[in-house]
Structure 1
Amino acid sequence: MEANPDKGPADLPACALEYIDRVVRAIRWRKRVRAEVHEELTAHFEDDLRDCGDAGQREARARELIEQFGDAKLLAALCRRAKKRCRPLWQKALLRTTQSLGLFVLYLVICSLPLYFGEAMVRVNYVEWLNDRWRPAQAEVENAKRYYDEAARLYVAPPDVLQKKRSNRADAAGGWFPDHNDAEMGLLARWLADNESAFERLRQGAKTLHYWPKYEIEQADLGDPNFLTEAMAELAGYRKVVQALRENVAYQASRGDLDKALDDCLAAWAFGRHMQGKGLLNEQLVGIAIEAVGCHSVPVILHRCEVPPTMLERIHKRLRVLVDPCRPAVHLDGEKVFWRDRIQRTFTDDGQGGGHALPKGMPYAAGTWLDNLLGVLVFDYPDRRDAEAMVEQYFEQMEGTLSRTPYGDGSPGDPEMPSLRAAPNALLALVEPAHQRVGQLVWRMKTDELATLTIVAVLRYAAELSDYPETLDKLVQAGYLDSVPDDPFGAGPLSYRRTDEGFLLYSWGQNLTDDGGVQGLGQDGTPRLWADNGDWVFWPVSRDDK
């Protein structure tokens, strides 16, 4: 510090410096605040001591000031309080918000502590439950699954050139290999011959009366990713064999071997039927896809080939056994036990059916996440009984939804399936759209079944009576159908009328509106059987149907 040439040296006396240091140390706060107080006190002493002529006067005046300031600790407390009151408003708001948030988090931690007390008790092995659920009571009954597993193991992948051709063709059974040259047809014949043993196993399985899923894995936790990976691994093999069988159907039909081609269609149909209504939902959906291969290939062959009346009669009789519009194509027990297994692994068990959620059980608790959070804040924890009741109620409602036709109450123009009630928790809300989609697929499959049976009945009627029936009622009167087939997507039966070329058979389709038999178009502008717009025309068959 520079000296004042007129008023004497500007250095503060030692007593003043010592006093200032004691005040600053007593503040015990932020370094920046201590520096500000040090600067302000130093400036105050300097200003007051400038008029003192010599060191003695400066020393005496400094002591007077120290006496006026009083106790250093008291002055430090006053300075600290003053600094706090001088904070900007935004700093005060931020501080109060942070403090409140911290208190809330602390309270939440305290409220959450009971969630960590107790442990889950696994009382039921649901993998064993699934294995026993659909097993017939007779121990000696043969399971068709072993034939399907053997078929998947015996499957031979196609050569690369054929694989590319398959990916470029929309419908092998309908296309009759238009883009294959002679060399590629030779490759196709050899590849199909290599898979004949796989096809034979599949045919044996289709002829077997009983089928039930088996999960031969050690993992007992249905929620473990390894369980689904192992359980679903065989499904890819099933689909590959059926896709190859579809190629075989087309190859046989192109060579005029219609008897074998139609038999293989019905084998794929029976294979898919075996997998429906049993096991996990993914397996049942694969069964629906497999049945679709056989179901839709039958009209394609009938449309492209001259089928003898005796063959029509044989196929018609077999289809009347296969097609049952009242059967439940999807069973949700496999889905329901997944939730039961998660609940038993994420809730405590008091031995009386009750218990509270553990931290991992919160997503499976009944109610919304907000309701459950508010419950935790008042020490009201999610209850196991409520969670199990929620699952039962949801799947009971879902079963009811699947049993209703898409047309529902007969409101035309409404493209939506009958809707489920709002799902009672976040996870069920996520799977609800997928479950509604399952309902659409089930009714689409049943519509395809009824249409295929009706097509065969009409063609047999025409072959035996030399004319197409005027209405579907004529088929019932003549004994070709047990009843007029209802259109699940329409207000009455499947739409039928005679035409100059033969007949027209269609469903109102996804838009639930009668468009007069105008087939819907896909995104590429070509006719598409399952388009969201227009009608679903089953006969005549379009080359681009799929």
Structure 2
Amino acid sequence: MDAPEADPAEPLAPPLDVTEVTPLPRPSFLKAVGRGAKTGFRAFSLVFGPFALLYLTVGLVPTAFGLGAGRGFGLHQLVFKVVLVYLAAVLLGIVVGAAAGLIGFLIDRARGSSRSGTRRSIADRPIRFFPWRRAQAAPGDLPRPRRRRWPWLVGVSVLLILATAFGVGIYAGRFVDRRLAAALAATDRDDPGWRFDELMAARVMPPDEDNSAIVVADVVAMMPEGWPSDAPVHPGGPTPTPTPSEAARAFERLARLESNVRMDDETADLVRAELADHADAVGLARTVADYEGGGHVLELTPNPIDIRLPETQEARLVARLLAADAAIQAQDGDIDGALESCRAILGVGRSIGDEPMVISKLVRIALGEIAMHSARRVLAQGEPSDAALAALQADLLHESPQTLLIEAMRGERAMLDEVIRKVRDAELSIAALSGQWSPGDPAHAIAPWGTLMFDNQRAVGLEWMNELVSAASRPPLERQAAWKAWRVEVGRVKESRLGMFVATLPLLMTPGATAAEKALTRYQASLGAAVILCAAERHRRKTGSWPESVAAIGPEFLADPPVDPFSGEAYRVERRDGRFLVHSVGPNLKDEHGAFEAKRWLDGGPDDVGTGAWDPALRRRPPDE
């Protein structure tokens, strides 16, 4: 079909005159910079916004958790860091965008280009996260309103995460509250007055005239510090080299000497001269044997762990002095006087009193071991009277049933609970646990979710220490089984994935309790063996021969024989190489005939605990043999 002819009467449209098109106005300087800043802001927000939102959500999770746990409101440091980083990023975007807009403006003005309209349209174009999902509208269709669903998805996801943290906080808070309340109630019920300040207030201090700690302190004040001290080789030199003094060397030789061998004349003269120089201190120290007990006034500190025990530690010096005195008296043939000095060493241990610290009990153990070691040497140098042996045996019997382990465990429990509580309540800095804190430093507040953690650790610490206090009060044999079960449970928690998080402080502070139990049980075993040895020596003096067993010792010498705390059975006795030996089977429960190796006994090696005495014919041997 032919196309219709145009009507000549209808006028034609005039041709387009391109010269009449008005060019787009150039943007002003401020508009160009503003559009550039806007573009930079959008671009950097697009890049950093998702990461900021992610980390902000992570930072708000502890806040929701703490609120759910009922511990109050608090913001994690990550929240502030994320906000600062995001603000810095968008500020950088604004600066970069503004600089780009300025550069574009200057280029357009220099070239006179009309491409600024294109740049302006690009700057005004919205930035989309998912530009490929834009639907193409069909010709003739009305434009549909754009629905941005991703803000709703992101917002709902964030709210679900925070709601979950809040719900977990509710469960954890109720669980910890019930656990801590139960632990506190059980401790109050089973052991009223168990808290640290209550233990300190309940200490029994004898009157001054009956307090051996005052006598011990007077002896320490009369002696040189660290006696027997070292002396420099070159006192006037720029770098003096410390070396043991002659007296210190003499004491070392005495310590290495076999118990039944007499000191050589040079060693004896040096030790005797040292004692003569401090005769007043020696005489005063001997009187401690007649005191029943003592006690030091402790200077309390904000951190119970940092309580210093200078007088307790200084008691070791008095024990060394009395040990040297016992050795010289035995060397000179005064066996009864030497045993009296051994009894005075036990009195020095009693002067520590009822200090509820493990370190105090360990010092008392060390002093008791010095007394028993000195008594073995005295017995190896001669034959004391029955009265002197009976007095020493009575003091050893008095020392054996002391509740040192119970006192130590109660003190450890109180200090552990006090430290955790003070850190939780911001009365003590966490840095105090590592010794990097002084009383003048401020203690920072614990975040709400952190207080929940400390409340849980406080409950765990009380539960564990309550078990140890209960075990310490049981008979020795039952105590061993209870302690073993306790160590297994603590080991299980330690090896678990969350063990160091839920029980950090109890795991760090309870190993001292385990070490104290082993040391105190060994001490009890040593005391029992020493008691039997005294009774056996008295039996030998009367009958002329050593007893064949503990049961063979006459009741007039040993009415109620001690029992081996490790096995619950009688101590083992035997004759070997001219010696009468008494020993416990030790922790491994194997009779190793008195063998003991200091480096292996904790790992199941030879660990027998005991003592012994030489036959009279082998005592007091000359030094050259």
Fold equivalence (TM over 0.5): yes
Output the aligned Cα RMSD. 5.1
Q: Does 1:307 align with 2:380?
A: no
Q: Does 1:154 align with 2:222?
A: yes
2:359 equivalent in structure 1? 282
Q: Distance in 2 between matches of 1:36 and 1:511?
A: 81
Equivalent pair of 1:33/1:83 in contact (CA under 8 Å):
no
Q: CA deviation at 1:148?
A: 1.2
SS of the equivalent of 1:454 reads helix
CA deviation map 1:490-544 (0-9, x unaligned): 35221123457353322222433222x1513345x9xx9999525335225799x
Q: CA deviation at 1:449?
A: 0.9
The counterpart of 1:201, out of the listed 284, 290, 297, is 284
Q: Distance in 1 between matches of 2:531 and 2:606?
A: 24
2:149 equivalent in structure 1? none
1:440 equivalent in structure 2? 518
- Greater RCO (CA < 8 Å, at least 6 residues apart): 2
2:397 equivalent in structure 1? 323
Q: Does 1:533 align with 2:606?
A: yes
**Ranges in structure 2 where 5+ consecutive residues have no aligned partner:** 1-23, 42-92, 133-153, 170-193, 232-244, 433-444, 494-501, 620-625
Equivalent pair of 2:345/2:367 in contact (CA under 8 Å):
yes
Aligned length: 445
1:397 equivalent in structure 2? 467
Answer with 272-281 or 445-454: which moved more.
272-281
**CA separation of 1:250/1:531 partners in 2, compared to 1, >3 Å: closer, same or farther?**
farther
Answer with 168-177 or 457-466: which moved more.
168-177
CA deviation map 1:429-472 (0-9, x unaligned): 22211111111111111111111111121222122112222221
- Aligned residue type for 2:606: N
**CA separation of 1:505/1:540 partners in 2, compared to 1, >3 Å: closer, same or farther?**
same
Q: Distance in 2 between matches of 1:318 and 1:262?
A: 7
1:237 equivalent in structure 2? 314
1:495 equivalent in structure 2? 572
SS of the equivalent of 1:472 reads coil
The counterpart of 2:371, out of the listed 294, 301, 308, is 294
Q: Does 1:27 align with 2:39?
A: yes
Q: Does 1:520 align with 2:596?
A: yes
Q: Distance in 2 between matches of 1:239 and 1:271?
A: 8
Q: Distance in 2 between matches of 1:220 and 1:374?
A: 21
The counterpart of 1:251, out of the listed 310, 324, 328, is 328
- Aligned residue type for 2:312: L
Q: Does 1:479 align with 2:563?
A: no
Q: Distance in 2 between matches of 1:530 and 1:251?
A: 38
- Aligned residue type for 2:567: G
1:505 equivalent in structure 2? 582
Q: Distance in 2 between matches of 1:82 and 1:393?
A: 55
**CA separation of 1:392/1:196 partners in 2, compared to 1, >3 Å: closer, same or farther?**
farther
2:487 equivalent in structure 1? 419
Q: CA deviation at 1:146?
A: 1.2
**CA separation of 1:36/1:375 partners in 2, compared to 1, >3 Å: closer, same or farther?**
closer
2:238 equivalent in structure 1? none
Q: Distance in 1 between matches of 2:420 and 2:129?
A: 58
Q: Distance in 1 between matches of 2:217 and 2:97?
A: 79
The percentage of aligned residue pairs carrying the same residue is 17
2:249 equivalent in structure 1? 165
- Aligned residue type for 2:487: S
Q: CA deviation at 1:170?
A: 7.9
Equivalent pair of 1:296/1:452 in contact (CA under 8 Å):
no
Equivalent pair of 1:266/1:295 in contact (CA under 8 Å):
no
Q: TM-score when scaled to structure 2? A: 0.58
2:544 equivalent in structure 1? 466
- Aligned residue type for 1:171: A
Q: TM-score when scaled to structure 1? A: 0.65
**CA separation of 1:84/1:510 partners in 2, compared to 1, >3 Å: closer, same or farther?**
farther
- Aligned residue type for 1:468: W
**Ranges in structure 1 where 5+ consecutive residues have no aligned partner:** 1-12, 46-54, 86-95, 112-123, 348-356, 365-372
Q: CA deviation at 1:237?
A: 2.3
**CA separation of 1:143/1:164 partners in 2, compared to 1, >3 Å: closer, same or farther?**
closer
Equivalent pair of 1:296/1:448 in contact (CA under 8 Å):
no
**CA separation of 1:266/1:530 partners in 2, compared to 1, >3 Å: closer, same or farther?**
farther
**CA separation of 1:374/1:258 partners in 2, compared to 1, >3 Å: closer, same or farther?**
closer
SS of the equivalent of 1:275 reads coil
Q: Does 1:142 align with 2:189?
A: no
